Amino acid sequence: MRHLLHVILACALPLGIPAQAQAQSDTLLTDVTIVDVAEGTLSPGQSVLIRDGLIAEVGEDLGSDTTTPVNGAGGYLIPGLWDSHVHIFSTPDEPDTALPLYLINGVTGVRDMGALWPIAEQQALQARIETGEVLGPRLILAGAWVDASPGSWPGMFLADTASEARGVVDRIAAEGWAAVKAYSMLDEATYLALAEAARDAGLPFVGHIPERVALGTAIDAGQAGMEHFGRVAMACSTEEGAMLDALRTAMAEGADLTRVFEIMAARNRIILETWDETLCDAVLARLAQAEMHVSPTLVVADFYTGNWPGPDTPRMRMVPAEVRSAWGRPDFRLEAMTDEVRALAEDSIALDRLTFLMAHRAGVPILASTDASFANPYLFHGFSLLDELDLYVAIGLTPREALYSATVAPPRFFELTDQDGTIAPGRRADLVLLDANPLDDLSTLRDPQMVIIGGRVLDRAELDGLETTLLEHGR
């Protein structure tokens, strides 16, 4: 890992100037139009003074004796983007690629939702990013995933009883994770104990809705964040309870994993046949009332439908060769799909998208998210977040609403004290300069003119340098 990070630092920084020293000097960014994503308003002709990684002042006639102004050339300044569901620690080298991919795409914050690295090593990298020693987005380490034994992924926290759930939360709290993440195979009693223990420990309780737990039960248990979207559409089916019971019964009778996957895969057709709009309105009203934040990861559907980028696209060439070749091998999640399920996939995706639009209109808070990981074929750090936002607009959100889910909603949900999706004094200087108004069209996000991370300015030439390094590394 260290080797490529070193190369990136060497190419991105003037020789002899440590990243940390640079981040702590003043920067005066002039002639920008500030985009207020929360309000949907523009303030042209502004300057932004950045000091010690924070926004110090915003106004029309700012001066600074201590620095040469950086000309924003009339560009549009937005808060940096967040991807609220990623996995950057699934291989020893993944951050080498993931961190610069995020920056070149204007993503200045990510929440990691499940990792194969020890927490201490994740925290060490997080600290090096915070000091500016390593260039990368702000990290939230929320990957303390808890599952029933033997665990869906290696290295998970495991709990099969209420007392084990409490013990696991004690460890999660002691190790310094940002949240407790429920996973799919937990039984209901253990899940409820986990929710209670997380609340007692003062940790946000987020994650999957377990496959044997009703969405309404998760709302009542106080789950604050839901990963992925399929369970919303399932809760809009009049047969949600029957589907849960079928799996509970089979597992109680000792069904093997193949049978369990069959039962779960059969849900798609049932949901399509029994999805009910009136019921859905009621479910969505409850979700909105509870302010359960949903991380939809709709872009994951591209993987199941084979909407994969060609081998010569820049995004593919920026991924390490061994990852590309692993992505080309058959995946167990695709192999687990029967032909019948595959044929239903398009209809299920369309229903998810309709339900997503209804959820948004009902006021369910959304955190833009992708599930990007080397372990998830054809989901890309950085690029996939922009795809996800485009998808929200294609489904019916305005560009401002899509942008809100990536800039304003995440830092507020994470309760960050120095970030709230506004560009104002005291806020962290995580910013992106664009050459067109993103409230009109998000395509301008594809070509940021400047990305500012913790006060450190990466201009277009430096972003190009990161891209070049990634392309060389991806060979």
- Six-digit token pair at 45? 């002709």
Closer to Zn ion by CB, 147 or 371: give it: 371
What ranges in 105-187 are assigned the alpha helix state H? 119-130, 162-175
Closer to Zn ion by CB, 376 or 469: give it: 376
The least distance separating Zn ion from the CB of residue 375, rounded to whole angstroms, comes to 9
Residues 344-363, interacting with Zn ion (CB under 5 A): none
The least distance separating Zn ion from the CB of residue 86, rounded to whole angstroms, comes to 8
Whole-angstrom distance, CA of residue 453 vs CA of residue 462: 13
The least distance separating Zn ion from the CB of residue 370, rounded to whole angstroms, comes to 9
Closer to Zn ion by CB, 79 or 382: give it: 382
Closer to Zn ion by CB, 352 or 371: give it: 371
The least distance separating Zn ion from the CB of residue 355, rounded to whole angstroms, comes to 20
Closer to Zn ion by CB, 77 or 141: give it: 141
Can you say whether the dihedral through the CA atoms of 137, 461, 466, 314 is positive or negative?
positive
DSSP assignment string, 331-346: PHHHHTS-HHHHHHHH
Residues 176-215, interacting with Zn ion (CB under 5 A): none
The least distance separating Zn ion from the CB of residue 113, rounded to whole angstroms, comes to 5
Q: Which of 371, 420, 430, 462 binds Zn ion (CB under 5 A)?
A: 371
Residues 89-148, interacting with Zn ion (CB under 5 A): 113
The least distance separating Zn ion from the CB of residue 264, rounded to whole angstroms, comes to 17
Whole-angstrom distance, CA of residue 280 vs CA of residue 289: 14
| 83 binding Zn ion? (CB under 5 A) | no
Region from 67-75, 128-136, 174-182, 366-374 binding Zn ion, contact rule CB under 5 A: 366-374
Contact 107, 137 (CB under 8 A): yes
Closer to Zn ion by CB, 38 or 336: give it: 336
Closer to Zn ion by CB, 302 or 371: give it: 371
Closest CA to 381 of 457, 292, 474: 474
- Six-digit token pair at 465? 């340098």
Whole-angstrom distance, CA of residue 34 vs CA of residue 16: 33
The least distance separating Zn ion from the CB of residue 143, rounded to whole angstroms, comes to 9
Region from 101-109, 320-328, 367-375, 463-471 binding Zn ion, contact rule CB under 5 A: 367-375
Region from 181-189, 278-286, 371-379, 395-403 binding Zn ion, contact rule CB under 5 A: 371-379
Closer to Zn ion by CB, 183 or 356: give it: 183
Closer to Zn ion by CB, 113 or 213: give it: 113
Q: Which residues of 80-116 are buried (b: 16+ CB within 10 A; e: fewer)?
A: bbbbbbbbbbbbebbbbbbbbbbbbbbbbbbbbbbbb
Query: What phi and psi values does residue 399 have, to the nearest 5 degrees?
Result: -55, -35
How many chain residues touch Zn ion (CB under 5 A)? 2
The least distance separating Zn ion from the CB of residue 142, rounded to whole angstroms, comes to 11
Closer to Zn ion by CB, 371 or 420: give it: 371
Residues 41-60, interacting with Zn ion (CB under 5 A): none
The least distance separating Zn ion from the CB of residue 323, rounded to whole angstroms, comes to 16
Closer to Zn ion by CB, 207 or 399: give it: 207
Whole-angstrom distance, CA of residue 192 vs CA of residue 22: 48
Q: Residue 127: left (phi > 0), alpha (psi -120 to 50), or beta?
A: alpha
Contact 173, 197 (CB under 8 A): no
Which residue is nearest to Zn ion, using beta carbons? 371
Identify the bridge partners of residue 35 per DSSP, sorted by sequence position.
42
Which residue in the block uniquely carries the two structure tokens 């020893």? 92
The least distance separating Zn ion from the CB of residue 228, rounded to whole angstroms, comes to 8
Edge-first strand listing for the sheet containing 450-453: 54-59, 41-51, 27-36, 69-79, 431-434, 450-453, 456-459
Region from 90-98, 276-284, 364-372, 422-430 binding Zn ion, contact rule CB under 5 A: 364-372
**Within the chain, what is the greatest distance between any pair of CA atoms?**
75
Closer to Zn ion by CB, 58 or 319: give it: 319
The least distance separating Zn ion from the CB of residue 295, rounded to whole angstroms, comes to 9
Whole-angstrom distance, CA of residue 232 vs CA of residue 464: 40
x/- letters, 412..451, toward Zn ion (CB under 5 A): ----------------------------------------
Whole-angstrom distance, CA of residue 473 vs CA of residue 470: 5
Query: What phi and psi values does residue 448 have, to the nearest 5 degrees?
Result: -65, 140
Over its C-alpha atoms, the chain yields an Rg (Å, rounded) of: 22
The least distance separating Zn ion from the CB of residue 371, rounded to whole angstroms, comes to 4
3-state secondary structure of 368: coil
x/- letters, 316..335, toward Zn ion (CB under 5 A): --------------------
Helix 339-362 vs helix 277-290: crossing angle, to nearest 10: 60
Contact 355, 392 (CB under 8 A): no
The footprint of Zn ion (CB under 5 A) covers 113, 371
